[in-house]
Amino acid sequence: MSAAFNFMPVILWTDALIFALLAAVLVLVWLIRRQEHLRAPWRGVAQRPMAMGAALVLSVFVVIGLLDSLHYRAKLPDSPADAPQYSVEVLSVFDALVEGLRTRQEKTYSAPLAMQLYAKEFVQREGVTVRDYPRLQHGGAHLAHADERLPDIAGRALAGAAQGALAGLLVFAGLAVWQARRSQVSVGTWLAAWRGGRLGWPARTVVLMVTAMLMLGGALMQLAAGYHVFGTDKVGQDVLYISLKSIRTGLVIGTLTTLVTLPLAIGFGIAAGYFRGWVDDVIQYIYTVLNSIPGVLLIAAMILIVQVYIESNAALFDTAAARADIRLLALCLIMGVTSWTGLARLLRGESLKLRTLDYVEAARAFGVSHARIISRHIFPNVFHLVLIAMVLDFSGLVLAEAVLSYVGVGVDPSMYSWGNMINGARLELAREPVVWWQLVAAFAFMFTLVLAANLFADGVRDAFDPRLGGRL
Amino acid sequence: MTLLEVRDLVTDIGSARVVDGVSFRVAAGETYALLGESGCGKSMTALSLMRLLPDGGRVSSGAVELGGADVLGLPEREMRHVRGGQMAMIFQEPMLALNPVIRVGEQIGEALALHQNLAGQPARDAARALLDAVGVPDAARRLDTYPFELSGGLRQRVMIAMALAGQPRLLIADEPTTALDVTIQAQVLDVLRRLKDERQMGMLLITHDLGVVAENADRVGVMYAGELVEEGARDIFFAAPQHPYSRMLFEALPRPGDSGRLTTIPGQVPPLDGAMRGCRFAPRCPSAVARCRDEAPGWQTINGQQVRCHLAGTLPASNARAFAAHAHPTHAAQVLLQVDGLKVHFPIRRGFLQRTVGHVRAVDDVSLDIRAGRTLALVGESGCGKTTVGKALLRLIEPTAGSIVLGGETITAKNAPAMRRQAQMVFQDPFSSLNPRMRVADILLEGMDALGVGAASQRREAVMQLLNRVGLPDDAGGRYPHAFSGGQRQRIAIARALAVSPRLVICDEPTSALDVSVQAQILNLLKDLQDSLGLAYLFITHNLSVVDYLAHDVAVMYLGRIVEYGAAADVLRAPRHPYTLALVSAVPRIEAQSGPGIIRLAGDQPSPLNPPDGCHFNPRCPYASEICRQTYPDRTDLGNGHWVRCHWVAAQA
């Protein structure tokens, strides 16, 4: 049936898990919407300008990550129609959208927005062989002379920003008309309310943030059409493309690992603190033992096992992407298994404290079952810890991936990831002159993602904390 | 001679004006008491004097003069010498005010080094002299102990010794005895009184307890919502309080021999960050007139008392308390709960194999019974095992031995669910007893769901009825506990216990965390519920005036055992056991003391880990004889169900 199309969809393991996670989140959202008292704190989150701004940034990352998780293999152009053959290269919808970035490869390093390579070569110029910086094949290829570069860059950036601003204005106009019609007031009234910040949600922040992001995106798109915005790497690949592709890896590591961590940490941590006695002893022994083994050792062992498994079952993994993917999944699993102990210890301590509180005693006086006490009294009162730990872990895991890739037990070297970029930067920083843009690009993207996640989590925590009474 | 003069002190914290135009004087050798409910600005006044306000707080205007010197104008450098050197402060919670990892002697030495330039052996001698002065026995040895090795009363004395190290002229005591037991409170107050007289110090005593004021203060200032509303000499104030707020504070106190309803002050102290209009007490005042709501009253002087009330002097002398005769089923009621030989021993485990090396006998052979519709008060100091008795009855703590018969049925581990429908508990701290993440309706439904009370469809209806019954608004069910004040939270906790229609409610100090006026509301509610539902209460408390108001029978506990038992009137009016005598006489009273002289107990309650031989009370007992040190006394019946365990009483009988 896929013969009708000129591609074959590929579902990698992590794709399946990511979309399962997405479905779970959507179901949760639907459930929360139906329950007034569950919806209220989230409405509180939506009223916090900082949280909403961070959520917008996060959503851009998530959308890119999701688009990058829809994989397919293109049909080879010369394959027969009745027995189609597909490329061994697994692409994603995101690749198709930024086709240009992926295909416009240079020979080797070039600086951001450059029109020449970063290293001198012997080039033929007007019949004479000279040693000079050769022109790039794509970056700045439309320019006739080096003097035109700066005005062209400025012009493109301004044009892109203007286009972004225009798009932002259109979005805003659409929002204004829609909202005004929904609340049955004139557009003028709605605009006045918007300006005065009287809408009950941080509309000003959202509109400004969207416009700013559209302007940045517009400028990037305009520049990327003619230049390599973040330069190119050793093999001439566009660094912007690598950074964007790394988003998915970062998100997968951050979310799937947390998914492995949470049930272990919550289950063991609360059980140890609540039941005490031998349950506590057993769980404590488990995590003390686990903690006393160096995590890197476990991870290296796991990666080796997976490597051997892949090699002995080569038939199961028909593409390089599938092999890299299973290694990523294994990494998530083993990182999850090694990193639950900290949160579990925290939850154990908190549960020890909570179980002696009067409301737990009152529930016991009613004969409420242990499962119910844990789910209604203990868990909701440690949830903020889980939430904070989740976000801190998310950032920590994204960073841990970089360290592990450096040691060589991280993601597959063929996979795009910030860790691999930083690992590569190790050698580039030792060069003279220094190649700094890969490190800066990886840093900028990681920083934005982690900062947005932290700010969003702050907003969530404040909104969920009943002691703050939902105050802004 | 005026030592401290405060004029028109105004303190703001953020947008809240916590102290508003307070003026008073304290003379050397005089005790001035600031009285009021929590949130009225008493502590903030003290912190303003010391210039130790929390972040965001500042003294906006006014003057504070200590011995003629302006305190507010001093630079911080010199202020440090005033603090401790000129005026010193002791705080409510001695455990929090002492550094747990530094020896007591060093902590006192620190203050001595700062204010008297003493170091080495002279400092140590001075510290020992200070501990002697505050009545710490065996002072030389105590210098080398850590604060956690000392009992609450000793810690508070160490605090006082530290405050005295700088030889201050003014001592500010912020609720110095609120965290202590009555017998210890009496000891600490004695120390403070004696020191004040010896050293001719001025003392600013901050408290909410009228009894403490009556026994210690020379002059009294009543604070309400950041303002002083009444001021005068103690005797005149106690004879005829003029401000309606002061009067209602008096009437809200349960008094002996009074079974009528307590006067309650409706509403709460207004938030201090809003604009105030008219008299601040007007919204809660029963005699407020239109003028009170518009015009803030100025000071008036009546019989040498100053009062801020438009109606001062025109109000009737004292509202007679309404005596609504409660119809108590005095007899013929069935025995609802019968406890026989209840023991709760906690094993002490030591060593690698966690072998049991001994037992803490928290509850040791307690027997009691409660009839339907009646109240038994279990009285004792903290650590005597009274809360453990309550929890063991509900099998929240598994008893070691003893039988519990509830409604004719012996309770074992197997039929505990049946028991849980009949007996429920109300806890001490209304802030930790409600899950902050659950709505009130869910809190009330929890018990009904767990025990399957009533049809599921009717439970929401039942929640509404419960809320009405305890006097909460209908929409309370949808809100979270943090939206309610302490008194309202305690109502929710009571409603939760009532949700499964129990016949016995165990109340574990339900009013000790509440203000006097709110305590009156809760006591009234408990009494009403007993009348309408025929509930039996096991009322666990250390507050004897509450016992007097609510209880039919009283059991006095000491170190895990009941030492005296009988009808409330007998035990409280004619106590026989020396411990009960001491407890009753240690309670600070508003009225002049009558009857037997005040008995001051020495020392503290021993540890239940290693109780003294013979009668547990013998080391503190003024009447102890040789036999008391050898055998534990048997019951001596005094008729009318009144019995004691005491060799001394037995010898008299």
Kindly state the average pLDDT of the residues B211-229: 90
Nearest-CA distance from A388 to chain B in Å? Answer: 17
Distance CA B589, CA B612 (A): 32
Structural tokens at position A399: 């960073």
For the cut 70, the answer to whether the pLDDT of residue B515 exceeds it is yes
B441 → chain A, closest CA residue? A37
Q: Are B374 and B554 a contacting pair, CB within 8 Å?
A: no
Structural tokens at position B324: 């609504």
Torsion angles phi and psi, residue B280, rounded to 5: -70, -25
Sequence spans of domains, chain A: 141-226, 239-468
* Residues whose CB falls within 8 Å of the CB of residue A470, separated by 6 or more in sequence, listed in order: A40, A41, A44, A463
- Check residue A218 and give its pLDDT: 93
Residue with tokens 């080391």: B619
Structural tokens at position B445: 């439904």
Percent of chain B with pLDDT over 90: 22
Chain B residues whose CB is inside 8 A of the A37 CB are: 439, 478
- Check residue B257 and give its pLDDT: 59
Chain B residues whose CB is inside 8 A of the A469 CB are: 482-483
CATH number at residue B620: 3.40.50.300
- Check residue B348 and give its pLDDT: 83
B280 SS3 class? coil
**Tens-digit pLDDT profile for residues B159-202:** 888 988 888 999 999 988 887 888 888 888 888 898 899 889 99
Mutate one of A39, A356, A358 to test the B interface: name it (highest B CB count within 10 A).
Answer: A358
* Residues whose CB falls within 8 Å of the CB of residue A422, separated by 6 or more in sequence, listed in order: A402, A405, A406, A438, A439, A442
**Closest Cβ–Cβ partner in B427, B478, B480 for A362:** B427
What is the 8-class DSSP label of residue A466? G
Structural tokens at position B118: 């003493």
Last residue of a domain, one of B112, B147, B167: B167
**Got the DSSP string for B561-618?**
EEEEEEEHHHHHHS--SHHHHHHHHHS--SSPP-SSPPPPPPS-PPPTTSPPSSSTTT
Chain A residues whose CB is inside 8 A of the B432 CB are: 357-359
Last residue of a domain, one of B167, B184, B209: B167
In a domain, B103, yes or no: yes
**Closest Cβ–Cβ partner in B420, B438, B439 for A367:** B420
Contact check, Cβ <8 Å, B438/A466: no
Q: Please list, residue by residue across A235-256, b when 16 or more beta carbons sit within 10 angstroms of its beta carbon and e when fewer do.
A: ebbbbbbbbbbbbbbbbbbbbb
* Residues whose CB falls within 8 Å of the CB of residue B182, separated by 6 or more in sequence, listed in order: B381, B542, B544, B583, B586, B587
What is the 8-class DSSP label of residue A147? G
For B589, half-sphere exposure in the C-beta direction (CA atoms, 13 angstrom radius) is 13
Confidence of residue B322 (pLDDT cuts 50, 70, 90): very low
A361 → chain B, closest CA residue? B396
For the cut 50, the answer to whether the pLDDT of residue B468 exceeds it is yes
**Closest Cβ–Cβ partner in A359, A364, A467 for B434:** A359
Distance CA B582, CA B563 (A): 13
A358 → chain B, closest CA residue? B433
For the cut 60, the answer to whether the pLDDT of residue B523 exceeds it is yes
**Tens-digit pLDDT profile for residues A409-433:** 888 888 899 888 888 888 888 888 8
Last residue of a domain, one of B146, B167, B188: B167
What's the domain range around B648?
Answer: 335-652
Range of weakest confidence among A265-279, A357-371, A380-394, B213-227: A380-394
Distance CA A331, CA A295 (A): 12
pTM of the complete model: 0.80
Structural tokens at position B195: 């020191």
Mutate one of B15, B424, B437 to test the A interface: name it (highest A CB count within 10 A).
Answer: B437
Average predicted confidence (pLDDT) for chain B: 85
Chain A residues whose CB is inside 8 A of the B437 CB are: 380-381, 383, 466
B172 SS3 class? strand
Distance CA A366, CA B447 (A): 5
**Tens-digit pLDDT profile for residues B270-300:** 878 777 788 888 888 888 888 888 888 888 8
**Tens-digit pLDDT profile for residues B379-435:** 988 878 888 999 898 888 888 898 889 888 888 878 877 788 889 999 988 888 899
* Residues whose CB falls within 8 Å of the CB of residue B461, separated by 6 or more in sequence, listed in order: none
Mutate one of B435, B438, B506 to test the A interface: name it (highest A CB count within 10 A).
Answer: B435
Distance CA A202, CA B548 (A): 58
**Tens-digit pLDDT profile for residues B478-513:** 888 888 888 889 999 999 999 988 999 999 988 887
Distance CA A278, CA A267 (A): 15
**Tens-digit pLDDT profile for residues A385-414:** 887 787 777 777 877 887 788 777 888 888
Q: Please list, residue by residue across A49-65, b when 16 or more beta carbons sit within 10 angstroms of its beta carbon and e when fewer do.
A: bebbbbbbbbebbbebb
Distance CA A79, CA A67 (A): 27
More confident residue, A461 or B534: B534
Chain B residues whose CB is inside 8 A of the A278 CB are: none
The neighbour count for residue A179, using CB atoms within 10 Å, is 17
**Domains identified in chain B, total number:** 2
Q: Please list, residue by residue across B449-486, b when 16 or more beta carbons sit within 10 angstroms of its beta carbon and e when fewer do.
A: bbbebeeeeebeebbeebbebbebeeebbebbbbebbb
In a domain, B74, yes or no: no
Nearest-CA distance from A359 to chain B in Å? Answer: 4
Chain A residues whose CB is inside 8 A of the B436 CB are: 381, 466-467
B442 → chain A, closest CA residue? A376
Chain A residues whose CB is inside 8 A of the B417 CB are: 367
Q: Which of B277, B218, B265, B239 is nearest to B36 (CA)?
A: B265
Q: Are B564 and B575 a contacting pair, CB within 8 Å?
A: yes
Range of weakest confidence among A51-55, A117-121, A439-443: A117-121
Structural tokens at position B154: 């000793």
For the cut 70, the answer to whether the pLDDT of residue B595 exceeds it is no
User: Is the alpha carbon torsion for A298, A302, A305, A311 positive or negative?
Assistant: negative
In a domain, B65, yes or no: no
In a domain, B60, yes or no: no
B494 → chain A, closest CA residue? A362
- Check residue A54 and give its pLDDT: 93
B414 → chain A, closest CA residue? A367
Torsion, CA B515, CA B520, CA B488, CA B377, rounded to 10: 100
Interhelix angle A277-292/A239-275, nearest 10 degrees: 150
Residue B388, CA distances (Å) to A445, B378, B391, B400, B559 in order: 58, 11, 5, 12, 12
**Closest Cβ–Cβ partner in A366, A372, A466 for B482:** A466
Which residues on chain B place their C-beta less than 8 Å from a C-beta of chain A? 391, 394, 396, 416-417, 420, 424-425, 427-429, 432-439, 442-443, 446-447, 450-451, 478, 480, 482-483, 493, 496-497, 500
What count of CB pairs under 8 Å joins A to B? Answer: 71
CATH for the A239-468 domain, from 3.20.20.70, 3.40.640.10, 3.90.180.10, 1.10.3720.10? 1.10.3720.10
The enclosing H or E element of B221 equals: strand B219-224
In a domain, B561, yes or no: yes
Chain B residues whose CB is inside 8 A of the A364 CB are: 396
Contact check, Cβ <8 Å, A365/B420: yes
- Check residue B38 and give its pLDDT: 82
**ipTM value of the model?**
0.80
For the cut 60, the answer to whether the pLDDT of residue A239 exceeds it is yes
Mutate one of A36, A280, A359, A372 to test the B interface: name it (highest B CB count within 10 A).
Answer: A359
**Tens-digit pLDDT profile for residues A331-390:** 999 888 888 998 999 999 999 999 988 899 999 888 889 999 999 899 988 887 887 787
Contact check, Cβ <8 Å, B416/A367: yes
B426 → chain A, closest CA residue? A362
Q: Which of A393, A379, A390, A388 is nearest to A269 (CA)?
A: A379
